[in-house]
Amino acid sequence: MIERIKVSKGEKKAELVLKNCNIINVFNCKIEKGDIAIEDGIIVGIGNYKGVHEIDLEGKIVSPGFIDGHVHIESSLVTPPRFAEIIIPKGTTTIIADPHEIANVCGLDGIDYMLKSSKNIPLDVYIMLPSCVPCMDFENSGARLLAKDLELMKDRENILGLGEMMNYPGVIDGDKIVHDKLDLMRDMIIDGHAPNVMGNRLNTYITAGVMTDHECTKAYELEEKVSRGMYVHIREGSATRNLKELIKGVTVQNSRRVLFCTDDKQPFDINNEGHINYNVKSAIKYGIDPIIAIQMASLNIAECYGLKGKGAIAPGYDADILVLDNLKDINVMEVYKKGQLVAKNNEVLFDIEVVEDSRVLNTVKINEIDNISFDIPLKSGIAKVIQLIEHNIITKNVNREVDIEHNKFKFNNKKDILKLAVIERHKNTGNVGLGLVEGYGLKGGAVALSIAHDSHNIIVVGDNDEDMKAAIRELKRVEGGITICSNGNVLETLTLEVGGLMTNSSIEEVGYKLERLEEIAKDKGINPNIDPFLTLAFLALPVIPELKLTDSGLFDVNKFEFVDIEVK
């Protein structure tokens, strides 16, 4: 500290000085010209400084590193070290991660794996302990975490609080298991997940201790939640894109309670669009002042989550610094992490260490695949169907007239109605939930994933039973992943060996496989206005309206109960 003081006073040269910067000041929303003095990875001065090593930025714009306020690393399909390789060149230097995907498969071992594999990388990874494992008692997951389990990890380094409380009915109705977790984490940050929860129900949710929400889809919902003291994340991921609508509700008066997050975004989209820098760029496009947009991507998140030394370029703050080309496109030219140049011109300048852990491998446990039946009994010919909504994970519950044969659902290629199945894969229970889906568009094959939020059983959609079984066999063979089958043949598979959710493979390999899968999906007629894989993965999540499918059956989220597929 004494050495930093000397540098700050100008009595000693700094280890590094970034000269001639146009510095974004997120405290007063102005741009300040000057040098940035850095010692031991900490900013010690803004002004006129000399350094042992000096870099002349020639008037380029300098921003604090971006923070993703709510992300599931697992949804990137790669492990934390590989994830760092993708997002750091885009300017994200810190993330708030909720590992409830791997926790639903591997329990506390999964969380421990995420903590250990997040070390020794130039990305600060903070963890929110998963609140809903499983998210509801209406499906079978690989683990169950109660308050007593979370207490074992509560005080570990980089644990910030309780992850998104998806069981909002349990919060509002006083469910004891839910409130035990809220009480345990009351002195820490508690994240929310409350789609369409408003009025007195919102008051109750907040009273219980929930501080944030990332499930707003309308501007008026954002405005009400902010007015009640919540922080609201504007989410722009792969399957769910809420920024264009929600940005309408952001004002100068309320912007300090608004944050950015990606939640779930795949490498393909990160590479093509960006990460949090894309959120910032999009907000500017829709009329938000560039510095306020950057404030929403940095200081606001740091203050919400109590991240000391994060979110600003100022004395005493970590030297997490971005060099930008302009304040419109937010192209990240250079990334400094604690004063070290870690990325330049979209290229990483660091090596990663892959963490091997047997506890998160070999997680697909399904026997007797040939005996699985996809027959859907129907007599009336009228069925409840999950109708997809483009660019969203919310679905509609619609009634449709379908073809039947021998009192069973019959495929009709003229109708865009496919079979959907969720097969329990953690304990080999034999559970199979069956449903119908409209708007997916697949013709002549099947798509299967070991990613099915949030319990992550096997989910498969298809227009014939044979390809659906072939796809399940392939996922069992590779111990999890994404696959497309047609005419009994495997067309392509991305192996996700870590929990059936992530891979340690290189970014290039994952990118190639995803691109091939996307091309095949397009050739197979899958609706181009949905993400063929993330959309499918969310059809098993029974906390997102309106109709979803679990391994235990068809679930009406509005009624909060299982329902028959047949309309009688």
pLDDT on residue 543 = 79
| Sequence-ordered list of residues with C-beta below 8 angstroms from that of 501, at least 6 positions apart, any chain | 74, 77, 101, 102, 105, 450, 451, 456, 480
What is the average per-residue pLDDT within 316-320? Answer: 98
CA pair distance 438, 235, nearest whole angstrom: 25
Which domains, from first to last, does the chain contain?
2-59 (2.30.40.10), 63-358 (3.20.20.140), 361-562 (no CATH)
CA pair distance 268, 507, nearest whole angstrom: 10
Q: What is the pLDDT of residues 212-249, one digit of tens each?
A: 999 999 999 999 999 999 999 999 998 788 999 999 99
Q: What is the pLDDT of residues 458-492, one digit of tens each?
A: 999 999 999 999 999 999 999 999 999 999 999 99
pLDDT on residue 500 = 98
Q: Taking the chain, what is the end-to-end CA distance rounded to the nearest angstrom?
A: 75
What residues form DSSP beta bridges with 277?
A: none
Q: Which pTM was predicted?
A: 0.91
The four Cα atoms 523, 527, 532, 538 give a dihedral, to 10 degrees, of: -160
* Residue 421: pLDDT over 80: yes
What residues form DSSP beta bridges with 417?
A: 438
Q: What is the pLDDT of residues 243-272, one digit of tens each?
A: 999 999 999 999 999 999 999 898 888 999
DSSP state of 149: H
Q: What is the 3-state secondary structure (H, E, C) of 503-553?
A: ECCCHHHHHHHHHHHHHHHHHCCCCCCCCCCHHHHHHHCCCCCCEEEECCE
327 C-beta neighbours (distance < 10 Å), count: 19
CA pair distance 503, 241, nearest whole angstrom: 25
Of the given ranges (365-369, 469-473, 500-504), which has the lowest mean pLDDT? 365-369
- The chain-wide mean pLDDT, for the chain, equals 95
* Residue 414: pLDDT over 90: no
